[in-house]
């Protein structure tokens, strides 16, 4: 039961944070911001918190980051671009995927560096 509560509270906070970002900046910039920051956080958390409780890790990963980042908005934006400009849509998908993976790798590297100190 504690694990479900951890995911639920993390999910609520992540969804509220994403809504705040989308409210403050355009949906396209917000999409990039939440997906790149969320990718960084998931990499950092994986390296920095491997020995924390399962509840804490679920709160951060499945809860907060899972609801903060948005694959559905990415997909909707991609389909809109695809209908308008095929090559721009392909570039968008490749850039978002590559940037997200690089941010996760950066978070992992910084998290490992923090653990080494």
Instruction: Determine phi and psi for 49, rounding to 5 degrees.
Output: -120, 35
- Is 69 part of any known ligand binding site? yes
Give the phi and the psi of residue 50 in degrees, each rounded to 5.
Answer: -65, -25
Binding site per annotation, positions for Na(+): 66, 69
Give the residue numbers of the binding site: 66, 69
């Amino acid at each position: 039961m504690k694990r479900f509560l951890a995911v639920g509270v993390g999910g609520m906070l992540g969804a509220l944070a994403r809504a705040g970002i989308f409210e403050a900046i355009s949906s396209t910039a917000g999409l990039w911001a939440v997906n790149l920051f969320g990718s960084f956080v998931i990499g950092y958390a994986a390296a920095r918190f491997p020995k924390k409780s399962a509840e804490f890790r679920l709160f951060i990963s499945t809860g907060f980051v899972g609801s903060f980042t948005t694959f559905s908005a990415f997909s909707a934006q991609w389909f809109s671009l695809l209908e308008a400009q095929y090559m721009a849509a392909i570039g968008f998908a490749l850039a978002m995927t590559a940037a997200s993976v690089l941010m996760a790798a950066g978070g992992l590297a910084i998290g490992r560096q923090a653990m080494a100190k």
